[in-house]
Amino acid sequence: MKRDERGLAVSTDSDAAVMAFDRAVEHFLKYHTDTMSLVGDAIVADPTFVIAQCLKGYLLLSAANPLHAPQIAATLATTEANAGTITPRERQHVAAFTAWASGELDRSFAIWRQILAATPTDLLAFRICDTTWFRHGQTAKIREQADRIFPQWSSGLPGYDLAQCIWAFAHEETGDYAGAERAVDAAWERDHTNYFAHHVKAHVLEMDCRPREGCDWLQSQIPNWLRGNQLIHHLWWHRTLMELDLGERAAVLASYDTNIRNFSDQLTKAVPDHYVDLQNANALLWRLEMVGVDVGNRWDELADIAEARIGDAGHLLLVPHLMLALAATGRDDAAARFSPRCARWPPMHSYGPRRRSRASSFRRARRHSPIGVVNTPASSICCTRARIKSVCSAGATRNAICSFRC
């Protein structure tokens, strides 16, 4: 039995496994490319290290890619096979992983909250609960949890700056831009390669209607972006939204091809259908067309990917983005095939009645609706209108879907 860097017991006798696990959790929150490699190092050091297997499972599930299903199943089987003599906290992580893999996210959320009630310094539980809730538009919940958990951290505890980012993000998403900015600036000062901090800062500058300052700040951080995963593409995406605010449309289209959907980029080559990249690309093309920019044939490859994902889109927020590509290219039949999948989604938190409507009306809304219209296209996505609206209510996502100007 060893302890992680915050003093929590973990079921391994390998110092190397614990060290790799600690760095993996840190880099997971910082959005570094080597996160899964570090998880692999921990498992190589101790193949029976259950909490590392849980982290691997969480990462695979978070990637929202149906191609990961065999890996998820194998990781879950290994985790459960080695769960005989582990700590109660680790057993709860196994249960949360199992529930999520079975499509019972409500149960996972409940377990993560139980973990945090007993051990508020479990950084993995804090972040995986927070980020997964965010994907489902639960900003009030992440704010409540952050305000309850973060005060129990001391500034000298390893990972304090990352817990600070969780708190800052929750506050930004619920309108406390000043508080969020103070916290995230302090976190960024500790490590300029903390891309979580970069992301929160981008949200604050965007939502606080400071596009020139935001463009300049993000530009100043580019030399620090060498260690980042697909979040770096998303940071470029945030910068293009600010450029749109400034009327720099040519720069936006150039950045799309160079920084957001560049097929020569190593990350894009490795995972051309990463959910972050798909959301970035579809959302930005939509915006460009809405302000009259000809985007050429850029929708086509996105629509091809969207068709390939019919039946298992990955997660709720990805679906409207995929639907944008299908609607943009006139693939109404393909868009309609999303309907059965959406109808089978279990309600996450009583989002309201399910609704369905025709993809053709969605396409008409895309072509003719003025900037700022949300309900017509969102309600056309063959899914729960209230659920999509809930997801789109989150700060930067709301800004991205609803408007181009402050």
Q: How many domains in the chain?
A: 2
Domain span at residue 115 reads 1-135
Residue matched to tokens 């817990």: 163
DSSP assignment letter at 32: B
Residue range 341-392, pLDDT digits in tens: 555 554 443 222 222 333 443 343 343 333 333 333 323 333 333 333 343 4
Whether residue 61 lies inside any domain: the answer is yes
Whether residues 70 and 143 fall in one domain: no
Query: In this structure, are 3 and 127 located in the same domain?
Result: yes
DSSP string, 158-180: TTHHHHHHHHHHHHHHTT-HHHH
d(CA 373, CA 202): 24
Is 390 a domain residue?
no
Indicate whether 144 and 126 sit together in one domain. no
E strand or H helix that includes residue 105: helix 105-118
Predicted TM-score (pTM) above 0.75:
yes
Residue 339: predicted pLDDT:
58
Q: What's 184's domain CATH number?
A: 1.25.40
Residue 228 φ/ψ, nearest 5 degrees:
-85, 155
For residue 147, pLDDT beyond 90? yes
Does residue 290 lie within any of the structural domains?
no
Based on the fold, state whether residues 59 and 180 are members of the same structural domain: no
Sign (positive or negative) of CA dihedral 134, 140, 146, 149:
negative
* Token code pair at residue 107: 């149960």
pLDDT at 313: 63
* Beta-ladder partners of 9: 3
CB atoms within 10 A of CB 381: 26
Q: Same domain for 93 and 172?
A: no
Do residues 120 and 168 both lie within one domain? no
Q: How many CA atoms lie within 13 A of 345 on its CB side?
A: 29
Amino acid code (one letter) for 53: Q
Determine the Cα–Cα distance for residues 134 and 269; give it in Å rounded to an integer. Answer: 27
Q: Give pLDDT tens digits for 171-225.
A: 999 999 999 999 999 999 999 999 999 999 999 999 999 999 999 999 999 999 9
Share of the chain above pLDDT 70, in %: 83
